[in-house]
């Protein structure tokens, strides 16, 4: 103010300068006011909460597949042979029955099944809301799955021969429609393998396949099924990318509380394992899971100490197949004659096959090719399968190349190529330079371990006296590396001598139908890849299908495995572990323990993993326990479930009491319910946050009134979903007893540590029971609190309360940038303020200049200067 006054006097221009400075002050005041207003708005933005979108974000589960294994040659279920063909078919199509993550038999299209007293008529009751989903219009529900589709599928497949499921339908005499949602399968005679039949035949849409002239050659693009996912035709570009999307019509939500939580599962192919692992660790391509990891990458590099990763015994069987096709078999099949295919007749000699078997150091192959990630094999049924027969050690072929050479020498192979007696020659010949032991040896080019194994096998065979070559007869390196398609061509025509490749079975594969059937005569021309034919074996196979007693059936399948082993046409070098890793910090959590639950692996033919994983931005609720109920009729029983949500979201509980009474919805995890009659009831509860439901069930045993001593009633066990090793975890539940009996609680932590016991009194009202435990190691542990009232009456009551906890070291994800009003709003507003001030300054300068010009025009001008003097 003082400066302004001085200015006015000094300039002597009170009117002009006073107005300009007043305007300047107004402009500056306006700018300051604008800044204050914007700052106020910013503060309002900080304070007012944002309304969340009602629709969940799209979520992708991204899987990297190494070693070019994303191979698919057909999506016709009748022709599938490769791993990812099975992945597509059994995630897109439904079967009557299926398996859960532990490979226990469960319902699929059929929620209920039973067998008549004759053990030949099986009845399957179908869900009422299954639809065939067309990728072109996935929300359409115009094609429901009915009994007609089931009857059509079985009848059509039974009328065909030489397809994937031929052996499964041999003893099915009829499939009948009872009503729109009930089917009967009638067998020629009782079979012990009917559940395998029901779990393997994909149900096809009659409205499509009924118009197909030649089903065996049908391209089936796109596959249209009723499974948990559908084949995303627009996004799939095989062999680079395979996309399976969540089926919006899937019946699993209603019937089994299951559906694919990822909106899509995107499989991305990688040419080699090293690049796959590098991208996974760096975050490139946003990979959640990687599979087909090569052993060097699994045990080396930064993945060596990574968690979680799994080495899973999934049923992978390495196989050295010795071609024993006979001239009679080759002449009987046109496919074995096209292009002049050949195989060495020497391989029909048991002595030669025995020498080959004695030349395979299985332990060395596991160490050198698999880096220890596997085990030496013996029989065709893998060690992960409960039907595996372990050949006694004293009856196995023992690796000994010198002894193998002696076996060949004793059979007459004692000469060299010049006809000289030379028992140490390679290759060995018989007298006169005949029958040289020269064979072609092939393996796959899809992974380094194949080449490493081949190098070792070729060297051992040379020590025995057997020379190997590639397809063109080259002895260096003595084997050929070929693609899956090339090997398939050689398989189809029987054009090879010996090769190393694999069969992939599962822990639940039926030992006869799924495994040993490949060695039956009927599979020659389809699945047999060594062309073994033995009438005794075929008879045992047929017998194994009919025997219902598991012990008697095992004796038969053990004998079949032993026959294949002794014949030495299938020489099993190892059972390889499949290698996986997952990123628990990118987008998904709750991957589970794949080594315990092999059904969770991403490339299984089960969608179990897709049902289980939870997105990190909104993990599904977790049910830790739902204790059984024991109570009396006409008295309210307390039914409870312990559930939690990682985001502390509000949960709703939908109860089904199992007694035909109306269900009930609550916002608490316990509910009273009165049963009118004694009996055993199945209680179900559906726990849901805003997005995900999870379900559980328990048993309510209701006793007659006045039955005597009543059991204690514990509520659900509460504890964190996950914890890190070495940290104390607190477990809590409440317990009451109508008679006020003291109860004894025994804790079993599930980690082989000692149990702990405590006594709780005053149980006439609910008492809180608390205990803490520290887990030293990582893993998934089942903790059980057993509550006992130690009373007589109707008997001592033992009531377990249990839950499962995951102990793992969690690598913290990079911190999410936190909201900071000064940074997020203050700096931008400051920039705006500077711009406004600059603009205001320019405006003021221009206004001042304009005012001076106007003032000069209004004042009299000075007299013009005098003209210059004349020259």
- CB-count exposure of residue 564 (10 Å: 0-12, 13-18, 19+): buried
3-state secondary structure of 74: coil
User: Taking a C-beta distance cutoff of 8 angstroms, is the pair 847, 839 a contact?
Assistant: no
Residue 44's pLDDT band (cuts 50, 70, 90): very low
Which 8-state DSSP code applies to residue 131?
B
State residue 717's pLDDT score.
85
Between 36 and 305, the more confident residue is 305
Q: What percent of the chain has pLDDT over 90?
A: 71
Query: Omega before 622 cis (within 30°)?
Result: no
Express each pLDDT in 686-737 by its tens digit.
999 999 999 999 999 998 877 667 778 888 788 887 889 999 999 998 888 8
Beta bridge partners of 175: 185
Q: Which residues of 610-644 are buried (b: 16+ CB within 10 A; e: fewer)?
A: bbbbbbbebbbbbbbbbbbbbbbbeeebbbbbbbb
Between 734 and 795, the more confident residue is 734
Lowest-confidence segment of 233-242, 266-275, 564-573, 737-746 by average pLDDT: 737-746
Lowest-confidence segment of 192-206, 425-439, 835-849 by average pLDDT: 835-849
User: Taking a C-beta distance cutoff of 8 angstroms, is the pair 723, 729 a contact?
Assistant: yes
Q: Quickly tell me which residue has 């006169």 as its tokens.
A: 432
Q: Rounded to an integer, what distance in angstroms lies between the CA atom of residue 62 and that of residue 287?
A: 5
What would the two tokens of residue 262 be?
């990822």
For every residue of 656-703, which 3-state class applies, written as one string? ECCCCCCCEEECCCEEEEECCCCEEEEEEEEEECCCCEEEEEEEEEEE
Residue 407's pLDDT band (cuts 50, 70, 90): very high
Rounded mean pLDDT of the chain?
87
Task: Show the DSSP H helices in 193-251 as ranges.
Answer: 194-200, 206-209
Residue 810's pLDDT band (cuts 50, 70, 90): low
Q: Which domains does the chain have, with CATH numbers?
A: 2-45+821-854 (no CATH), 60-274+583-615 (3.40.190.10), 313-577 (3.10.105.10), 618-707 (2.60.40.10), 710-812 (2.60.40.10)
- Most confident option among 173-182, 294-303, 639-648: 173-182
**Strand bridging mode 629-632 / 693-703:** parallel
Residue 844's pLDDT band (cuts 50, 70, 90): low
Express each pLDDT in 174-193 by its tens digit.
999 999 999 999 999 888 88
- CB-count exposure of residue 404 (10 Å: 0-12, 13-18, 19+): buried
Q: Work out the number of other CB atoms within 10 angstroms of the CB of residue 417.
A: 14
Closest C-alpha to 520, from 548, 502, 540, 500: 540
Element (H, E) at 489: helix 484-493
State residue 851's pLDDT score.
53
- CB-count exposure of residue 815 (10 Å: 0-12, 13-18, 19+): exposed
State residue 850's pLDDT score.
53
Residue 26's pLDDT band (cuts 50, 70, 90): very low
Average pLDDT over residues 47-73: 73
Q: Which regions of 705-851 does DSSP assign to beta strands (E)?
A: 713-714, 722-723, 728-736, 743-748, 756-760, 767-774, 779-788, 798-807
Lowest-confidence segment of 575-584, 622-631, 841-850 by average pLDDT: 841-850
Which 8-state DSSP code applies to residue 824?
I
């Amino acid at each position: 103010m003082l400066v302004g006054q001085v200015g006015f006097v000094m300039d002597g221009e009170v009117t002009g300068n006073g107005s300009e400075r007043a305007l300047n002050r107004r402009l500056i005041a306006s700018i300051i006011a604008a800044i204050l207003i914007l700052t106020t708005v910013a503060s309002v933005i900080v304070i007012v909460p944002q309304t969340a979108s009602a629709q969940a974000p799209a979520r992708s589960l991204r899987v990297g597949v190494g070693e070019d294994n994303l191979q698919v040659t057909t999506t016709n279920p009748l022709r599938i042979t490769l791993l990812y063909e099975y992945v597509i078919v059994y995630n897109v199509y439904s079967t009557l029955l299926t398996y859960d993550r532990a490979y226990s038999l469960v319902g699929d299209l059929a929620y209920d099944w039973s067998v008549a007293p004759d053990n030949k008529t099986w009845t399957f009751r179908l869900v009422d809301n299954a639809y065939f989903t067309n990728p072109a219009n996935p929300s359409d529900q115009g094609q429901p799955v009915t009994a007609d589709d089931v009857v059509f599928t079985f009848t059509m497949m039974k009328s065909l021969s030489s397809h994937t499921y031929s052996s499964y339908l041999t003893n099915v005499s009829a499939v009948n429609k009872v009503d729109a949602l009930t089917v009967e399968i009638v067998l020629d005679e009782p079979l012990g393998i009917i559940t395998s039949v029901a779990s393997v035949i994909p149900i096809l849409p009659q409205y499509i396949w009924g118009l197909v002239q030649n089903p065996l050659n049908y391209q089936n693009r796109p596959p249209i099924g009723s499974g948990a996912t559908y084949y995303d035709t627009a996004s799939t570009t095989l062999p680079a990318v395979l996309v399976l999307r969540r089926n919006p019509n899937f019946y699993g939500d209603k019937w089994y509380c299951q559906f694919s939580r990822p909106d899509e599962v995107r499989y991305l192919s990688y040419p080699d394992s090293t690049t796959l692992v590098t991208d996974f660790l760096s975050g490139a391509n946003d990979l959640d899971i990687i599979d087909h990891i090569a052993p060097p990458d699994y045990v080396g590099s930064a993945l060596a100490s990574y968690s979680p990763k799994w080495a899973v015994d999934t049923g992978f069987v390495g196989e050295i197949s010795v071609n024993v096709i006979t001239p009679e078999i080759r002449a009987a099949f046109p496919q074995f004659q096209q292009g002049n295919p050949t195989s060495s007749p020497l391989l029909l000699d048991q002595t030669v096959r025995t020498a080959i078997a004695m030349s395979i150091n299985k332990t060395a192959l596991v160490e050198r090719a698999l880096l220890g990630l596997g085990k030496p094999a013996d029989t065709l049924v893998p060690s992960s399968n409960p039907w595996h027969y372990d050949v006694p050690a004293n009856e196995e072929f023992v690796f000994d190349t010198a002894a193998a050479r002696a076996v060949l020498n004793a059979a007459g192979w004692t000469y060299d190529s010049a006809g000289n007696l030379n028992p140490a020659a390679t290759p060995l010949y018989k007298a006169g330079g005949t029958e040289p032991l020269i064979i072609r040896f092939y393996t796959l080019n899809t992974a380094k371990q194949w080449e490493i194994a081949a190098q070792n096998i070729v060297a051992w065979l040379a020590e025995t006296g057997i020379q190997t070559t590639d397809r063109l007869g080259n002895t260096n390196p003595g084997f050929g590396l070929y693609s899956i398609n090339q090997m398939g061509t050689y398989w189809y025509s029987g054009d090879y001598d010996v090769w190393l490749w694999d069969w992939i079975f599962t822990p639940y594969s039926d030992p006869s139908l799924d495994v040993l059937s490949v060695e039956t005569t009927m599979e020659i021309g389809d699945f047999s890849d060594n062309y073994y034919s033995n009438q005794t074996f075929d008879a045992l196979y047929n017998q194994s299908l009919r025997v219902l007693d598991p012990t008697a059936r095992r004796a038969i399948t053990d004998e079949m495995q032993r026959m294949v082993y002794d014949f030495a046409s299938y020489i099993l070098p190892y059972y390889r572990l499949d290698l996986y890793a997952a990123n628990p910090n990118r987008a998904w959590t709750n991957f589970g323990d794949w080594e315990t639950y092999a059904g969770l692996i991403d490339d299984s033919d089960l969608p179990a993993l897709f049902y289980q994983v939870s997105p990190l931005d909104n993990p599904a609720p977790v049910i830790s326990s739902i204790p059984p109920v024991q109570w009396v009729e006409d008295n309210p029983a307390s039914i409870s479930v312990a559930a939690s949500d990682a985001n502390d979201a509000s949960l709703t509980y939908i109860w089904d009491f199992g007694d035909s009474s109306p269900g009930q919805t609550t916002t608490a995890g316990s509910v009273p319910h009165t049963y009118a009659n004694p009996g055993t009831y199945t209680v179900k509860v559906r726990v849901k946050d805003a997005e995900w439901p999870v379900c559980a069930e328990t048993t309510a045993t209701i006793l007659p009134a006045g039955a005597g001593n009543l059991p204690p009633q514990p509520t659900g066990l509460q504890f964190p979903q996950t914890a890190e090793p070495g940290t104390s975890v607190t477990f809590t539940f409440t317990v009451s007893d109508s008679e006020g009996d003291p109860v004894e609680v025994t804790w079993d932590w599930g980690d082989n540590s000692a149990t702990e016991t405590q006594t709780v009194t005053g149980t006439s009202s609910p008492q809180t029971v608390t205990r803490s435990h520290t887990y030293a190691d990582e893993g998934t542990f089942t903790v059980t609190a057993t509550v006992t009232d130690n009373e007589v009456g109707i008997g001592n009551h033992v009531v377990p309360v249990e839950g499962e906890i995951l102990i793992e070291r969690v690598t913290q994800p990079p911190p999410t940038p936190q909201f900071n009003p000064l940074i997020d709003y203050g700096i931008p507003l400051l920039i705006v303020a500077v711009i406004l001030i600059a603009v205001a300054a320019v405006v003021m300068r221009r206004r001042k200049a304009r005012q001076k010009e106007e003032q000069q025009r209004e004042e009299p001008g000075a007299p013009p200067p005098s003209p210059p003097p004349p020259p």
